[in-house]
Amino acid sequence: MNIIKRSGIEEVFDITKIINAMTKANNEVPEVERLTAQEIRDAANAVAAQCEQMERAASVEEIQDLVEDQIMARGKYNVARKYITYRYTRALVRKSNTTDEQILSLIECNNEEVKQENSNKNPTVNSVQRDYMAGEVSKDITRRILLPKEIVDAHDEGIIHFHDADYFAQHMHNCDLVNLEDMLQNGTVISDTLLEKPHSFATACNISTQIIAQVASNQYGGQSISLTHLAPFVQISRESIRRSVVEEMRDFVGAVSVEAIDEITERRLRKEIAKGVQTIQYQVITLLTTNGQAPFITIFMYLGEARNEQEKHDLAIIIEEMLIQRYQGVKNESGVWITPAFPKLIYVLEEDNIHEDSKYYYLTKLAAKCTAKRMVPDYISEKKMLELKVDKNGNGNCYTCMGCRSFLTPYVDENGKPKYYGRFNQGVVTINLPDVALSSGGDIDKFWKIFDERLELCHRALMCRHNRLKGTLSDAAPILWQYGALARLKKGEPIDKLLYGGYSTISLGYAGLYECVKFMTGKSHTDPAATPFALSVMQYMNDACKKWKAEHNIDFSLYGTPLESTTYKFAKCLQKRFGIVEGINDKSYITNSYHIHVTEEIDAFSKLAFESKFQALSPGGAISYVEVPNMQNNLEAVLGVIRFIYDNIMYAELNTKSDYCQVCGYDGEIEIKKDEEGKLVWVCPNCGNTDQAKMNVARRTCGYIGTQYWNQGRTQEIKERVLHL
């Protein structure tokens, strides 16, 4: 059994440290008021037993709380006071410097919590360590200076989560929907170098990867681009290649037919498209941004964005090549084809590709094949999105999310036209819904009162995010604010006008709707008797966002938070605050957003149909998934799910497994098991390998695919997922 120290280092549980600490406090009171040696041992053993029952590494703070409880339970109140005083004195000493131990532990790769904080960051790499070091400094400044104490305390207690505090000290924001069209068509500037409109598809792809890397280095969230913005350069390359072919043919005796010239042109064009797509795929994977990771990039594939039939035809060629290369995967260091984490792909289902007799149905079949092997693309239903994303002109809109699930709200510019590319999200604060329920004790009136208080706390925290961005000059990130990714502001111009009126969004996140409803009603939110309450909770948060929007002219939006490491944090905080409540907080994770609990038996179609009701009430971001086995030999079933998505839900994905053991060459699902100390570890079922450095594991945890493993809470959640198909 292990414990997690304050520095984040995980070490073996040592009961003698508990006995020694209790003995020191015991010796400071009169003998008549002391615990006996046996009572101290019994108390220490009781604490050890409680830690064992957690089935995870307990923190030092949790253990000290348990020690206090054991002393008090034996009626030795003066001993308890001495122990509490000792804790307080030590806390004051630690507060004199809050970052040194954290930084030193992460440099030595001993900080288990930081190592597992982000499943796409390798904590042993220097660039990642430098980002983490800067992050620790930022968090320290944020906690001590930039945020009100009530928000810091609420964050520490797990009542809310103030996301990305490691970037808050800087004037940085969350997600972007990059205006690639503007940057390619009108030129951009990178590192003081003017990049003009490219003269070929291959060059456009190369410039795009440079834009992606620059954008990722100037914000901390996801970003999205559309392949539609690359499509016009296919025709430019076609015309250039055709001119070259015609010149070459002049040396031949006799006339060469137009058909032959066209055939040679298209053949060469296809090769250029393949090279361009390969540039995007490999550059994205191999580029490291300033925070030491590949850019969190999503690529949008939507035929309906094309402005004419020729452009749609060319866009289809790019989409086809993107799917072919993603199906193939990338080679790991052993030369084995594996599933990469990025770029994330989103494929739009529409009338032109959803039916067997649709012109582009072949692309949907290819997408299904790719999903079955590589977990992407994910799917947006144009049909459902047009119903849900209606602008002030009454028109439905279909567009991509910013990253894994963060959606902009509909926006019409001064010319009356919808605008999405070039917009962004200011940041996120998440409310812990199970904590609201448990704090109410099940009293419905008290629930709504506490809910109001917590929402107002989130409101204040979100305004801290907004106010931190106010006054930011465009010079802070020229690629974003001056050179087209988000805007074309002048040098020295504040970005403030982009923070109001709906141009950008700011997100109220939420987590644990299932646990909240289960505690208040005794039933899962899938139960017809409990569903109305679940929907009312969602509507209540939407109403709060609407109220704040009217007050500030800022586009607050409700967002289904993609908890990664925070799912573990929230679970631990709930256990600390309320003890173990069976069926509510007795696991090392809580449920993401509105999702059905991972252990609940339900078929894929029922799950998607049910969760579609909640996507409509989560306009700032939502995604649903179904967990499936290996479907590579059952593509008709995959296509069946895809067709169901088109008719029933806006945004969904299929989760399969894509793993590889470097020790024995096993190509299948790497399993999760408990080791002798009760810790969850990844194990090859073929050879028993448990060395994470010698296996490739890819799992979707919160919209993105992760490849660097997860903390114990998220690992337990992955282990307990049931299949829906």
- Just list the catalytic residues: 174-175, 402, 404, 406, 425, 559, 564, 703
535 CA to centre of own chain: 24
Q: How far apart are CA 80 and CA 74, in angstroms?
A: 10
CA angle 667, 668, 670 (to 5 degrees): 110
Decide: residue 523, CB within 10 A, 0-12 exposed, 13-18 middle, 19+ buried: middle
Distance CA 46, CA 39 (A): 10
Angle formed at CA 316 by CA 310 and CA 317, multiple of 5 degrees: 95
Within 13 Å and on the Cβ side, how many CA atoms surround 331? Answer: 5
Q: Does the N-terminal peptide bond of residue 343 adopt cis geometry, omega within 30 degrees of 0?
A: yes
Nearest alpha carbon to residue 54 among 716, 719, 722, 720: 716
| Of the candidates 596, 592, 651, the residue with the CA atom closest to the CA atom of residue 623 | 651
Question: For the chain, what is the total number of helices (H) and then of strands (E)?
Answer: 24, 24
> How many other C-beta atoms are found inside a 10 Å radius of the C-beta of residue 717?
24
DSSP helix/strand/coil, 160: strand
Judge whether 265 and 248 are in contact, CB under 8 Å.
no
For residues 443 and 519, is the Cβ–Cβ distance under 8 A? Answer: no
The three-state (H, E, C) secondary structure of 175-227, written as one string: CEECCHHHHHHHCEEECCEEECCCCCHHHHHHHHHHHHHHHHCCCCCCEEEEH
Residues in the chain: 725
379's enclosing H/E stretch is strand 378-381
Distance from C-alpha of 125 to C-alpha of 203, rounded to nearest angstrom: 31
Burial (0-12, 13-18, 19+ Cβ within 10 Å), 676: exposed
Helix (H, G, I), strand (E, B) or coil at 331: strand
What is the rounded CA–CA span in Å between residue 47 and residue 580? 15
- Within 13 Å and on the Cβ side, how many CA atoms surround 672? 20
Q: Is the peptide bond before 377 cis (omega within 30 degrees of 0)?
A: yes
Nearest to 531 by CA among 612, 641, 450: 612
Structure tokens given for 181: 């069209």
Given the structure tokens 């037993």, which residue do they identify? 49
**Can you point out the beta strands (E) in 454-560?**
505-511, 555-560
Distance, in Å, from the CA atom of 555 to the CA atom of 541, rounded to the nearest integer, reads 14
Q: For the chain, what percentages of helix, strand and coil (3-state, to nearest 5) are there?
A: 50, 15, 35
Helix (H) or strand (E) holding 626: strand 624-627
* Listed residue (428, 361, 340, 400) closest to 700, CA to CA: 340
DSSP per residue, 650-678: SEEEEE----EETTT---SPPEEEE-TTS
